[in-house]
């Protein structure tokens, strides 16, 4: 009897959290994700399937789809070519500054795409540092091949942005892979290349495939890099959705293209899920301390040095060029240090009604990011609790033949995938969905609501909050909470005094991710932001589209500020991130 009473008390403590965790997240996802996407679906099939079929048969849109697939394939191949040696470097070698270099290599993961695009323009553009330096050396008449506005610089930016994906997914798996497999093959007389192809590569293939699919998805839906660096000739599905929506006002065509893109992304996501499941197969992994070694011999030292140089050039050069170019005048004008672009950030030089000083955009971004962080935690914490209380990680229930546990485990897997959907949905599709959904007279008032962008950004940030919290919640012991509940402590007291200190590092990690993701969101915000209330990425894009050296300088200055904020946030995240976390 006493045991039954104790269980009832514990259940009474956890019931409010479970109830909120079941209702709030599902309602949020239904209202702010499923409903806008449903609006796109309704618009695409308003006249039946004819519009979709005509778009699929149109030569121009087929060309756009083909180029989207082509550039994503090239970006993926190049990223793997650069990232796999880097993954081997961090997995198998120990060298001074390794931990700091690994942390810095993760900065591009949270870097806004608009900052990456501007940074590569500052490095390789017509007024970039490389072009100006070569003109000083070779003479003012010397011209570089035009890199910006072409596919080359887009591919470089994609490699920069996705290098850390390969480093984390493949390098993390490789670091724990037992090196004795390859050593045994070598002792049996197999050359290194054959050992790599027949032993190491098959073991790494699921992790490499998962990284490749993730890079392909990111580059398939790339918007900021394409629209800024690609120029008008290079149009992908994402850019075409934006052009049909914002410039041509053809929402029906944009909705059809968004549906095609969503179908492709969903298919790729399903393949990615299967590959990650294969990568999770146990292989008698070893601790990282047992698999790393100091580089010995000139070949090993050359390999380590070359990879560190590539990493420094690829990740450091664009960001350093961005910061330098924002405070230097063009070389042709007599280079000197100037803060004119930063000083002009507080001015409304046009005196137009819909133009605000750039400092207002900074304040808007910080305000929206703060609201997004609060909303993402409000929805993400109960969602993580809901997923953590299911027997997803405990398959013993399934092997024991408990049918109810099997149903709960399957339901948890479905919910887990459902809350990851916003991460795989393109920004332009989300923005278009909101435009279509809010075009009805009943909801038109929400179009100007100050909460529209925070709600949209919360959708994108929510998966990061859930992923940050889930490992900690699933690993915690329930004994302390149960003792406190049996002693009569109220649910709020139990959570504040026992639960909160345990999950605080994971909670801080999710909050920093939400804040950083909101600061850099560009594609959907560009479609939805009011002209008099722009965010930092939108203001940068505006300045890039206006002629004049000062406008370009202000774009560089704002991009530098955004870069410094996101870099500081990520380095802080590395300090508070709990061991064994998802990121």
Which domains does the chain carry? 1-42+339-583 (1.10.3720.10)
Q: What is the pLDDT of residue 490?
A: 59
Span 550-579, mean pLDDT?
A: 82
The rounded distance, in Å, linking the Cα atoms of 462 and 455 is: 10
Residues 6+ apart with CB under 8 A from 320: none
pLDDT at 142 exceeding the cut of 70: no
* Across 146-160, 180-194, 225-239, least confident range: 180-194
* % of residues, the chain, pLDDT over 90: 6
Model confidence band, residue 399 (pLDDT cutoffs 50, 70, 90): very low
Residue 543 CA: distances (Å) to CA of 369, 539, 578: 22, 6, 40
Model confidence band, residue 412 (pLDDT cutoffs 50, 70, 90): low
DSSP for 232-291? TT---HHHHHHIIIIIS--HHHHHHHHHHHHHHHHHHHHHHHHHHHHHTS------GGGT
Helix (H) or strand (E) segment spanning residue 389: none
DSSP for 54-76? HHHH-HHHHHHHHHHHHHHHHHH
Please, what is the average pLDDT of the chain? 76
Q: What is the pLDDT of residues 279-330, one digit of tens each?
A: 554 445 455 555 667 778 788 888 888 888 888 888 888 888 888 888 877 6
Euclidean distance between the first and final Cα of the chain, in Å?
A: 45
Span 166-195, mean pLDDT?
A: 67
Phi-psi region of 180 (alpha: psi -120 to 50; beta: other; left: phi over 0): alpha
Q: What is the pLDDT of residue 335?
A: 62
Q: What is the pLDDT of residue 290?
A: 55
Angle 219-235-439 from CA coordinates, rounded to 5°: 90
Q: What is the pLDDT of residue 366?
A: 92
Q: What is the pLDDT of residue 248?
A: 77
Model confidence band, residue 370 (pLDDT cutoffs 50, 70, 90): very high
pLDDT at 488 exceeding the cut of 80: no
Q: What is the pLDDT of residue 550?
A: 83
* Across 119-133, 232-246, 400-414, least confident range: 400-414
* Across 412-426, 472-486, 518-532, least confident range: 472-486
pLDDT at 514 exceeding the cut of 70: yes
Model confidence band, residue 11 (pLDDT cutoffs 50, 70, 90): low
Span 134-140, mean pLDDT?
A: 67
pLDDT at 80 exceeding the cut of 90: yes
Model confidence band, residue 393 (pLDDT cutoffs 50, 70, 90): very low
* % of residues, the chain, pLDDT over 70: 70
Which of the two residues, 234 and 2, has the higher pLDDT score? 234
pLDDT at 394 exceeding the cut of 50: no
pLDDT at 64 exceeding the cut of 60: yes
Q: What is the pLDDT of residue 5?
A: 46
Q: What is the pLDDT of residues 343-369, one digit of tens each?
A: 888 777 666 555 778 888 889 999 999
Among 401, 330, 297, 239, residue whose Cα is nearest residue 550: 330
Span 261-273, mean pLDDT?
A: 75
Question: Of 202-206, 260-264, 419-423, 536-540, which one has max mean pLDDT?
Answer: 536-540
Which of the two residues, 221 and 396, has the higher pLDDT score? 221
Span 441-464, mean pLDDT?
A: 82
337 forms beta bridges with 328
The rounded distance, in Å, linking the Cα atoms of 183 and 198 is: 13
The rounded distance, in Å, linking the Cα atoms of 332 and 104 is: 33
* Across 265-274, 429-438, 524-533, least confident range: 265-274
pLDDT at 400 exceeding the cut of 70: no
pLDDT at 193 exceeding the cut of 60: no
pTM: 0.79
Q: What is the pLDDT of residue 397?
A: 44
């Amino acid at each position: 009897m006493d045991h039954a009473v104790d269980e009832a008390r514990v259940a009474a403590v956890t019931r409010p959290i479970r109830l909120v965790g079941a209702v709030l997240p599902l309602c949020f996802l239904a209202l702010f994700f499923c409903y806008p996407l449903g609006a796109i679906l309704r618009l695409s099939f308003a006249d039946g399937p004819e519009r979709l079929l005509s778009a699929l048969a149109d030569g121009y849109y087929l060309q756009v789809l083909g180029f989207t697939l082509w550039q994503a394939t090239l970006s993926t191949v190049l990223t793997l070519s650069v990232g796999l040696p880097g993954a081997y470097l961090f997995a198998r070698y120990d060298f001074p500054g390794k931990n700091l270099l690994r942390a810095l290599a993760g900065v591009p993961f949270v870097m806004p795409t608009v900052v990456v695009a501007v940074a590569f323009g500052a490095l390789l553009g017509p007024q970039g540092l490389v072009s100006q330096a070569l003109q000083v050396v070779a003479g003012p008449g010397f011209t570089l091949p035009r890199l910006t506005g072409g596919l080359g610089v887009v591919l470089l930016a994609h490699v920069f942005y996705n290098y850390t994906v390969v480093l984390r997914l493949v390098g993390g798996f490789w670091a724990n892979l037992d090196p004795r497999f390859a050593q045994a093959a070598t002792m049996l007389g197999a050359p290194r290349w054959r050992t790599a192809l027949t032993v190491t590569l098959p073991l790494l293939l699921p992790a490499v495939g998962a990284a490749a699919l993730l890079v392909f998805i990111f580059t398939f839906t790339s918007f900021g890099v394409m629209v800024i660096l690609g120029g008008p000739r290079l149009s992908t599905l994402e850019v075409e959705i934006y052009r049909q929506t914002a410039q041509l006002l053809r929402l029906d065509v944009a909705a059809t293209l968004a549906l095609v893109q969503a179908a492709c992304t969903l298919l790729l996501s399903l393949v990615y899920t299967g590959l990650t499941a294969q990568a999770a197969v146990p292989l008698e992994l070893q601790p990282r301390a047992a698999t790393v070694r100091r580089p010995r011999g000139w070949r090993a030292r050359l390999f380590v040095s070359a990879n560190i140089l590539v990493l420094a050039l690829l990740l450091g050069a664009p960001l350093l060029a961005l910061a330098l170019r924002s405070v230097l005048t063009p070389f042709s004008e007599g280079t000197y240090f100037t803060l004119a672009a930063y000083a002009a950030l507080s001015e409304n030089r046009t005196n137009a009604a819909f133009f605000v000083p750039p400092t207002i955009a900074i304040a808007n971004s910080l305000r929206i990011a703060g609201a997004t962080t609060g909303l993402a935690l409000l929805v993400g914490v109960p969602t993580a609790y809901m997923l953590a209380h299911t027997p997803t990680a405990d398959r013993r229930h399934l092997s024991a033949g408990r049918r109810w546990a099997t149903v709960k485990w399957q339901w948890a897997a479905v919910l887990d995938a459902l809350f990851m959907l916003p991460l795989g949905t393109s920004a332009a599709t989300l923005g278009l969905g909101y435009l279509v959904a809010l075009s009805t007279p009943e909801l038109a008032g929400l179009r100007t609501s100050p909460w529209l962008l925070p709600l949209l950004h919360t959708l994108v940030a929510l998966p990061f909050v859930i992923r940050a919290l889930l490992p900690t919640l699933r690993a915690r012991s329930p004994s302390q909470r149960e003792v406190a509940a049996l002693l009569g402590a109220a649910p709020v007291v139990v959570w504040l005094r026992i639960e909160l200190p345990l999950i605080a590092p994971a909670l801080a990690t999710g909050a920093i991710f939400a804040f950083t993701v909101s600061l850099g969101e560009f594609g959907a915000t560009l479609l939805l932001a009011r002209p008099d209330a722009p965010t930092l990425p939108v203001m940068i894009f505006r300045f890039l589209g206006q002629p004049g050296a000062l406008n370009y300088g202000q774009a560089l200055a704002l991009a530098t500020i955004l870069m410094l904020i996101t870099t500081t946030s990520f380095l802080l995240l590395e300090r508070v991130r709990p061991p064994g976390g998802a990121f």
